[in-house]
Structure 1
Amino acid sequence: MRKPTGLERLYVDFDSFFASAEQHLQPHLRGRPVGVIPVDSEHTGLIAVSREAKVLGVKRGTFVREARRQCPDLVLVTARHEAYVALHHAIVRAIETVVPVKAICSIDEMLCALLPAEWPQALDIGQRVKEAIAHGIGPTLTCSVGLGPNDLLAKIAAEMEKPDGLVALHPNDLPGRLLALDLTDVPGIARGNAARLARAGVGDMAALWRLQPKELRRLWGSVEGERLWMGLHGYTVERPETRRRMFGHGRVLPAEWRSLNGAYAAARVLLAKASARMRRAGFSARALALWLTDRNSAGWYGEERFQPTRDDPSLLGSLSRLFLHAEREEMSRSRSVHVALHDLVPMADIEEDLFGQTPEAQLKRRMEHLSTLADQLNVAHRRTLLHWGPWVTIPGGYAGAKIAFNRIPDAEDF
């Protein structure tokens, strides 16, 4: 454990990224209230809103009808994930003209490490990063830059003066401005954790600061509480390397797709996309999980386990059996569908079957080879040319290629 003495981390956090990206890409939207929606539907919620819309009270997550009521002039744009990913890569290149990017935290958040010789000029470097983005990308896409002794404090600093902020939290000044924050302003403290802290008498940042690391670990119920304490107090926090646990995709279904047949058609596409990602990453799966949910987020869950598998015909056969179970258990409608390949095994760890010359084993290898060839063909042509069984276009597009908080799609996903 180490306590830095300088501003070792620089965190870049973009403001209203999806909405600002649309204003950047479509100049006629600049200065207008913009909301980005996942699909062209009146029954969905906004996934991003521009500054102009925020001023009028529109928030992310607001349903379209309510957003229109709050802001009749709101311009709705359907998300274009491929365009945002391309813009993300251009932004990274612009930042790296000033300082290398150490980690990509999300589509619109990047972390940089500063060298000891750069610590005294940290604020100047932060300003140069902002200028590089403005000159290299354009003035519409603004970002907030935070500087701190570790990742957590740099991220908190980036959130303090949004939009277009530049804030440093120097280790010698702690707790300083941290005491003015709400508990939920700290990354990692969600409402549930804040409520747990409140029941223990910790209702503000001053009370949180007075705790000892073991106390916060006990209140948290895990080592994450102690890691949070270390981060807030300016220590570097080493985290164990994460392992890939699953490949999956989900989709809220349009109203006309909410039968079991509609959910099955969508699930086949989502599974094919997930399995292609899994093969590119060099894994096989030993389990397939399926979730079907109703309007109250209840629903049906099923799972099938098998020997390490990565070919589409086998996995689609497993999915078909799971849907038969759902039908027998009278799950007739589904608001959303999610599939996940899990219990992963790296291909390098799979030993050759001593009885691998059986017809079944030979067929399995042929299907794996054909699945890989289909992946290569589809990637080369940037569309799905070869697939097993029926293929549908799910309204909203981007099946398997949507941007998630902790995943930026590869070009091959589109």
Structure 2
Amino acid sequence: MRKPTGLERLYVDFDSFFASAEQHLRPALRGRPVGVIPVDSEHTGLIAVSREAKALGLKRGTYVRDARRQCPGLVLVTARHELYVELHRAIIAAIETVVPVKAVCSIDEMVCALLPSEQAQALAVGRRVKETIARDIGPTLTCSVGLGPNDLLAKIAAEMEKPDGLVALGPDSLPGPLLALSLTDIPGIAKGNAARLARAGVCDMAALLRLQPKEMRRLWGSVEGERLWMGLHGYTVERPETRRRMFGHGRVLPAEWRSLDGAYAAARVLLAKAASRMRRSGFSARALALWLTDRHSAGWYGEERFGPTWDDPSLLASLARLFLHAERESMSRSRSVHIALHDLVPLSDIEGDLFDHTAQAQLKHRLESLSVIADRLNAHHRKTLLHWGPLVTIPGGYAGAKIAFNRIPDAEDF
């Protein structure tokens, strides 16, 4: 366990990224309150709001009908994920002309490691990053930059003076600036954790910082509590490399798709996207899971297990069997559908039987080859040309290609 003495990390956190991206791409929207929605529907919520909309009290998650009533001049735009990913890549390239990016944390957050020679001029490096983005990308996309001895403190610093901030939390200044924060200002402390801490008598940052590492571990119920303690006290935190556990997609269904047939059609599209991602990553699966939920978040769950499988026809046949089970168990409607391919096996670990020339083995090999050919053709033309069964389009598009907090889609996903 090492305790840095300088500002080793620079954290870049963009302000209202999706909404600012739309204002960057559409100059007519600049200076106007903008809300970004996942689909063109009155029954969905805002997934991003511009700085102008935030100044009028709008928040992410507000339903469209309420947002219109609260802000009559609001401009609503449907998310364009492929353009945000292209913009993200241009931003990474711009930042790396100043300092290398150590890790991409999300579509609008990245952390850089500073060399010892850069640490003494850390604030100047932070200003150069902001100036470079404004010059090479454009002034509409502002970012907040935080500097700290580790990733966590640099991220906290980036959040302290949003928007367009530049803050350094030096090791010598700790814990001073942290004491003014609320518990939920700390990454890793959501409302649930804050309530658990309150029950233990920890209601502010001063009380949290007085805890010992083992107490934090006990309160969190995992090693994450101890890691959080280390980060807040200025130590470096090395996390073990995570292993891929699943490939999955989910979707809240449009009202007209909420029958079992609609859920099945959507699930086929989502499964095909997940299977393609799995193959590109070099994995096969030994299980397929399906969740169907109703408006009360209850619903149906089913899972089918099999030998290592990665071709579309076999996986789609498994999905069809799961939906038959759902129908027999009287699941007639579904508000959302989620699928997951899990219990993964690297393709390199699968040993084929050189002497298995049965018709079933030959069919399996042909289906695998056809799935790969379809992937390559679809990726080359950036659209679905080859598919298994009927081709449907889920309203709102982007099946399998939406930006998630910890996943940035590949170009092949669109």
Q: TM-score, normalised by structure 2?
A: 0.99
CA distance in 2, matches of 1:245, 1:137: 36
Higher mean alpha-carbon deviation, 127-136 vs 215-224, is at 215-224
Aligned to 1:299: 299
Distance in 2, matches of 1:185 and 1:33, equals 25
| Residue 103 (structure 2) pairs with residue 103 (structure 1) | yes
User: Could you tell me which residue of structure 2 aligns to residue 93 of structure 1?
Assistant: 93
Question: Which residue of the partner structure matches residue 368 of structure 1?
Answer: 368
Q: Distance in 1 between matches of 2:355 and 2:203?
A: 63
For residue 354 of structure 1, report the CA deviation from its aligned partner. 6.2
Question: C-alpha displacement at 1:350, in angstroms?
Answer: 1.0
Q: String of CA shifts for 1:212-245, please: whole Å, max 9, x gaps.
A: 1111111111111100000000000011100001
Instruction: State how far apart, in whole Å, the 1-side matches of 2:95 and 2:183 are.
Output: 31
Which stretch of the first structure deviates more once superposed, 204-213 or 351-360? 351-360
* Aligned pairs (5 A) from 1:24-103: 24-103=24-103
- 1: CA distance between counterparts of 2:330 and 2:72? 42
Aligned to 1:168: 168
1:116-139, CA deviations, whole angstroms, 9 ceiling, x for partnerless residues?
A: 111110000000000000000000
Query: What's 2:380 paired with?
Result: 380
Taking structure 1 as the reference length, the TM-score comes to 0.99
Structure 1 residue 357 displacement after superposition? 1.8
Residue 352 of structure 1, CA deviation: 1.8
Q: Which aligned runs of 4 or more in structure 1 are off by greater than 6 angstroms?
A: none
Shift of 1:409: 0.4
Partner AA of 2:91 in structure 1: I
* Offset of residue 167 of structure 1: 0.2
Partner of 2:220: 220
Deviations 1:292-323 (A, max 9, x none): 11111111110000000000000000000000
Aligned mates of 2:290, 2:376 — CA distance in 1: 27
**In structure 2, C-alpha distance between the alignment counterparts of 1:191 and 1:355, rounded to whole Å:** 58
SS of structure 2 residue aligned to 1:302: strand
Name the CA distance, whole Å, in 1 between partners of 2:63 and 2:112: 36
Task: Determine the C-alpha separation between the residues in 2 that align with 1:386 and 1:365.
Answer: 18
DSSP-derived class of the 1:368 partner = helix
Q: Using the alignment, how far apart are the partners of 2:129 and 2:150 within structure 1? A: 18
SS at match of 2:120: helix
Displacement, 1:107?
0.2
The aligned amino acid for 1:225 is G
Query: Superposed, which structure 2 residues align to 1:204-353 within 5 Å?
Result: 204-353=204-353
Provide, for residues 58-112 of structure 1, a one-character-per-residue CA deviation record: whole Å limited to 9, x for no partner.
1000000011111011000000000000000000011011000010000000100
- What is the RMSD computed on CA atoms of the aligned residues? 0.7
2:199 and 2:65 mapped to 1: Cα distance?
Answer: 37
Report the Cα distance in structure 2 between the residues aligned to 1:91 and 1:326, rounded to whole angstroms. 45
* Residues 341-397 of structure 1 deviation map (CA, whole Å, 9 limit, x = unaligned): 000000011122365322111111110000000000001111000001011011001
Letter in 2 for 1:387: H
For 1:120, the equivalent position in structure 2 comes to 120
Gaps in structure 1 of 5+ consecutive residues? none
Q: Which amino acid aligns with 1:10?
A: L
CA distance in 1, matches of 2:73, 2:399: 30
Give 1:149 shift: 0.2
* Secondary structure of residue in 1 paired with 2:54: helix
Distance 2:219 2:141 in 1: 40
2:112 match: secondary structure:
strand
Q: Which amino acid is 1:357 matched to?
A: H
- For residues 144-165 of structure 1, the C-alpha deviation after alignment (integer angstroms, 9 at most, x for no partner) is 0000000000000000000000
Looking at structure 1, the residues matched to 194 and 412 of structure 2 have their Cα atoms a distance apart, in angstroms, of 40
SS at match of 1:239: coil
- Aligned residue pairs, count: 414
Query: In the aligned structure 2, how far is the partner of 1:356 from the partner of 1:195?
Result: 59
- SS of the residue 1:102 aligns to: strand
Query: Distance in 1 between the 2:78 and 2:230 partners?
Result: 41
Which whole-Å CA distance do the structure 2 matches of 1:354 and 1:290 have between them?
Answer: 34
Which residue in 2 is equivalent to 1:356?
A: 356
Q: What is the CA–CA distance in structure 1 between the aligned matches of 2:12 and 2:230, rounded to whole Å?
A: 22
SS of structure 2 residue aligned to 1:127 = helix
Residue type of the alignment partner of 2:297: S
Amino acid in structure 1 at the alignment position of 2:263:
A
Classify the secondary structure of the residue corresponding to 1:333: coil
Q: What letter is aligned with 2:152? A: L
Aligned equivalents of 2:106, 2:6: Cα separation in 1: 25
Aligned-pair identity (%): 85
**1:241-286 per-position Cα deviation (integer Å, ceiling 9, x unaligned):** 0000111111111100100000100100000000000000000000
SS at match of 2:121: helix
Q: For residues 35 and 227 of structure 1, what CA distance do their matches in structure 2 show?
A: 36
Residues of 2 paired with 1:232 and 1:144: CA distance?
20
In structure 2, the gaps of 5 or more residues are none
AA paired with 1:394?
I
Q: Which residue of structure 2 aligns with residue 404 of structure 1?
A: 404
The 3-state SS of whatever aligns with 2:287 is: strand
Q: How far off is 1:399 after superposition? A: 0.6
Write the distance in 2 (CA, Å) between the matches of 1:367 and 1:332: 32
